[in-house]
Amino acid sequence: MREPWPGTSKKRCRSPWLRLWSPTRLLLIFSVTVTSLAKSQTAPAAVNPNLQEILTYIHNGWDSLTLSTNSCAAVADTKLSGAPVLYLPYDFPQPAELARMQQECRVTISHLPSVSHQLGTIDTRSIQPPGLLYLKNKYVVPGGRFNEMYGWDSYFIILGLLRDGRTELARGMVDNFFFEIENYGAVLNANRTYYLSRSQPPFLSSMVMAVHESQKAAGLDDRSWMETAYSYVKRDHEMWTKDPHLAGKTGLSRYYDFGDGPAAEALQDENDIYRQVASYFLLHPSIPSHVRESADVPSSQASGSSYSVRVCGVAETQSSCEPAKLIKLDPDYYKGDRSMRESGFDISFRFGPYGAATHHFAPVCLNSLLFKTERDLEAMSRLLGKNSDAAEWKKSAEVRRRLIQKYLWDEPSGQFFDYNFDTAQRSTYQFATTFYPLWAGLATDSQARAVVRNLNIFERAGGIATSVQQTAGQWDYPFGWAPIQLLAVEGMRRYGHNAEADRVSIEFLSTVLQNFERDKTIREKYNVVTRSSETNVTVGYSANNIGFGWTNGTFTELLHALPSEKVTHVAESARPTIPPH
């Protein structure tokens, strides 16, 4: 069982019936303990059929969301059209089990055109048709349009799997990421060929440590596995701490996609996003401009589509119009768009409108995660007896902590902000990643208090809103996402702000439960103002996908961490319709 975070009181009473539950164990616990529970405040929650139902849904969901690259269901890709293809690494022998799949699924099996030991060595546009990348082990997908193993999603999924006692599946997913680093050059955004140019937020060390803690609790000696894990986490860290992932001369890191031009997955089902962007920048000129006449943009597959612009007098005949001009989005916009997708926060206006300037920022989230990675590498080194390594990782983490304090902390507002290293200016865009430094443990006590004092900026009836700006993008107001809730709550607990952590947990858990009671689904995001899964996203893809991997994992983690006497509040709060904040 995972121990509480450092700084969290171990005396807080955890919900005893939720530890390593399964539906069978849950029912046994209900039948054995209902009499004793009836004497305590947890009885209404423990026997509440809707709470039992949602936990059973999550438990069964791990099975329905589990795929492998030798199954027919895994190869399908709703984000693109075309015949299914499974790609193996360039020099990788074809596994025998794929022969059956080839016949049953009518799938073409091919090899990548060259070795890929680091991102950017393969032009993803040259791989036609796009397809699924082979992985050795089974994995859990998020759900809906996300039919692959994703980078940062998998951390929250793995937490859920470990809470459900599925350590083997969780470890197999981590081993898949090692396979990706070895054969595809990095932890990928997801295992599709068009993602060979970018990664996702670095949670690999956190996954490793979570699996290690679970194996240790089971009495398993995993030293050999930890040696392997240590080597791959070092390689992952190295990618983020050298060009082109360096944020100018700050000593911090940035998101950066090695590819150019439109993102393949955005072209089919994201509401013609690039036409929206071109229209926006025509009406809201930026410096530098992201729109040019087509003739000024080098013609290539990476330059994107042309759009026609014509200026006419209002209510006049067509003859009064100026001749049509063709325009294109410039290459720097596409680099920003792709880099925003590496951040996982697509789409938000946090890094400028439509994320166009993402690659010009040193982000709070990424650098907090790298600090956490360095501290994890220190811990792994000590476990392996590599004390000199441990000292170096400790030093690296402290250097990063000081740089984050210098560039990303804003004392007057009491929040952490991203830093534009080109303009040498700290952003003023209020975003819930301000809680990441608390989760990573790099904030001072006074900074943590200041961030928590500002909780009301983001907190709404259904949990924490990702930002305060309403842009119609799904990673802005009024939407709240499971990973943000968990990282913020665990960050607040780490610094002893348990009352606030409990309150936010109940707000989000009850929102998920309330919507589950209505339609028997769990979604990828929620409107935390209306406490509804009915979202109106017009920037990017509009679906609110069902499944949903990281929401499932977050639900069980937040519920587990609630004190026993407060678990009942979740079911009670799911009943009324709470007015917007």
Interior/surface letters 466-477, b for 16+ CB within 10 angstroms, e for the rest: bbeeebebbbbb
123 is catalytic: no
Q: If we measure between CA atoms, which residue out of 356, 400, 357, 355 comes closest to residue 378? A: 400
Interior/surface letters 96-129, b for 16+ CB within 10 angstroms, e for the rest: eebeebeeebebebeebeeebeebbebbbbebee
Helix segments in 408-546, DSSP class H? 436-440, 445-453, 455-458, 482-494, 498-519
Helix segments in 65-203, DSSP class H? 72-75, 97-105, 153-163, 167-184
pLDDT band at 382 (very low <50, low <70, confident <90, very high): very high
Q: If we measure between CA atoms, which residue out of 16, 50, 4 comes closest to residue 509? A: 50
- pLDDT for residue 540: 85
Q: Residue 1: is its pLDDT beyond 50?
A: no
For residue 73, how many other CB atoms are within 10 A of its CB?
A: 11
Q: Identify the three-state secondary structure at position 2.
A: coil
Strand-pairing partners, residue 269, are none
- pLDDT for residue 424: 98
> For 298-343, what is each residue's pLDDT tens digit?
877 678 889 999 888 887 666 688 899 999 999 999 999 999 999 9
DSSP conformation class of 423: T
pLDDT band at 48 (very low <50, low <70, confident <90, very high): low
- pLDDT for residue 271: 76
Catalytically annotated residue among 148, 376, 524, 557: 524
Per-residue pLDDT, averaged over 539-550, amounts to 92
Look at 21-30, 322-331, 371-380, 487-496 and tell me which has the smallest mean pLDDT: 21-30
pLDDT band at 20 (very low <50, low <70, confident <90, very high): very low
pLDDT band at 221 (very low <50, low <70, confident <90, very high): confident
- pLDDT for residue 449: 98
Joined tokens for residue 491: 């960050």
Per-residue pLDDT, averaged over 216-236, amounts to 96
Distance CA 512, CA 53 (A): 13
Adjacency order of strands within the sheet including 425-426: 361-362, 419-420, 425-426
Helix segments in 441-481, DSSP class H? 445-453, 455-458
- pLDDT for residue 47: 42
Direct distance between the N- and C-terminal alpha carbons of the chain, in angstroms, rounded to an integer:
37
Q: Residue 7: is its pLDDT beyond 70?
A: no
Q: Residue 579: is its pLDDT beyond 80?
A: no
- The answer to whether the CB of 338 falls within 8 A of the CB of 263 is yes
- pLDDT for residue 451: 98
346 is catalytic: yes
Domain regions of the chain by residue span? 1-47+454-581, 67-233, 266-359
Per-residue pLDDT, averaged over 428-433, amounts to 98
Catalytically annotated residue among 222, 330, 346, 374: 346
Q: Residue 133: is its pLDDT beyond 60?
A: yes
Q: Residue 50: is its pLDDT beyond 70?
A: no
pTM: 0.91
Q: Residue 71: is its pLDDT beyond 70?
A: yes
- pLDDT for residue 191: 98
pLDDT band at 269 (very low <50, low <70, confident <90, very high): confident
C-alpha separations of 161 from 20, 55, 155, 556 in Å: 10, 13, 10, 10
Residue where the block lists tokens 């200026």: 311
Q: What H or E segment, with its residue span, contains residue 283?
A: helix 273-283
**What pairing do the DSSP bridges indicate for beta strands 139-140 and 66-67?**
antiparallel
User: Would you state the torsion angle of the CA atoms of residues 161, 162, 166, 167, taken in this order, to the nearest 10 degrees?
Assistant: 130
Joined tokens for residue 289: 């401009």
The winner for highest mean pLDDT among 45-49, 67-71, 424-428 is 424-428
Distance CA 336, CA 198 (A): 12
Look at 279-288, 295-304, 436-445, 452-461 and tell me which has the smallest mean pLDDT: 295-304
Per-residue pLDDT, averaged over 219-237, amounts to 96
- pLDDT for residue 39: 29
For residue 48, how many other CB atoms are within 10 A of its CB?
A: 18
For residue 462, how many other CB atoms are within 10 A of its CB?
A: 30
- pLDDT for residue 81: 80
- 286 against 167, higher pLDDT: 167
Q: What is the mean pLDDT of the chain?
A: 89
CA 91 to chain centre: 31
